[in-house]
Structure 1
């Protein structure tokens, strides 16, 4: 991959609004990470992803079913309840599948009671066949893991509580 191709890749990843991106070709590995500004709303790239994010089936996209909006309201209330316990929450930067370890037979990155440093890998969220490392935004002790291994997570969903 030459310099122009790398620049084009960076531009396209930025334009897509991705927060984490990894690319491997032969012995070349490119990893990009971009922090999300607070309050920014990320819209999934496809209608299917959007439907999954709000819990609406493909047959009810035209508004025939309101279960999706009720599901979003329930998730919102659950997130508020989680936030009231105190501590710092590490939230998912994207929609995907949550993994506690780098492979099925490996030890989890962290457990409840572990002391973590800012920047330490806590878990992985897989999105569109890309493995995105979730790093701690805080120094402290992990007091709660709010998601089960291999569970689907939404953008902004609390994953960990760190005191």
Structure 2
């Protein structure tokens, strides 16, 4: 994107009632915001985004069994924390880092349990209440669907 295009975008924003404008393509991301804190519109360029792609160990043949549904997990005793989005489940913030939680661990409300990556965005899944982790239903780097059981927990 050249300076002429940027000037045209800034002029468009200042001549309308738009307070925020965002444009993204394969090479650039431009965000123009205006408001009472500064008289002139601002823009910023985004740094390159790197995808988190840990190498997962080869799954044994026994792991090929179908995953438990949320209803089946509830029968195991406890509440189920499900995936709010479609993406890839990660137990830790980086491939060489320790997992956020382990089975038997007590977690506080708001504590990060895992990450679900969707479209190169890392979405932290937090505990909505104080609980004890009874079961981790997904393997690291495993794809998840909306509503899939991620954890079986016991409310405290």
Answer yes or no: same fold by TM over 0.5. yes
| TM-score bucket of the superposed structures, by smaller chain | 0.5 to 0.7
Q: Name the counterpart of 2:100.
A: 109
The answer to whether the Cα contact below 8 Å between 1:89 and 1:162 also exists between their aligned partners in 2 is yes
**Structure with the larger strand share:** 2
Q: Name the counterpart of 2:145.
A: 154
**Residues 1:4 and 2:19 aligned together:** yes
**Structure with the larger helix share:** 1
Segments of structure 1 that go 5 or more residues without pairing to the other structure are 8-23, 27-73
Distance in 2 separating the partners of 1:102 and 1:122: 10
Distance in 2 separating the partners of 1:6 and 1:112: 45
Question: What do residues 29-87 of structure 1 show as CA deviations (whole Å, max 9, x unaligned)?
Answer: xxxxxxxxxxxxxxxxxxxxxxxxxxxxxxxxxxxxxxxxxxxxx87x83321121221
Question: Could you list the runs of 4 or more consecutive aligned residues of structure 1 that deviate by over 3 angstroms after TM superposition?
Answer: none
**Residues 1:100 and 2:115 aligned together:** no
> Which of 99, 112, 128 is the matching residue for 1:121?
112
Distance in 1 separating the partners of 2:109 and 2:87: 23
CA RMSD of aligned residues (A): 2.7
Structure with larger Rg: 2
Q: TM-score, normalised by structure 1?
A: 0.54
Correspondences of 1:139-150 after superposition (within 5 Å)? 139-150=130-141
Distance in 1 separating the partners of 2:136 and 2:98: 15
Distance in 2 separating the partners of 1:105 and 1:112: 19
Alignment coverage as a number of residue pairs: 99
The answer to whether the Cα contact below 8 Å between 1:138 and 1:162 also exists between their aligned partners in 2 is no
- Residues 4, 118 of structure 1: alpha-carbon distance in 2 compared, 3 angstrom cutoff: same
Report the alpha carbon displacement of residue 88 of structure 1 after superposing the two structures with TM.
1.6
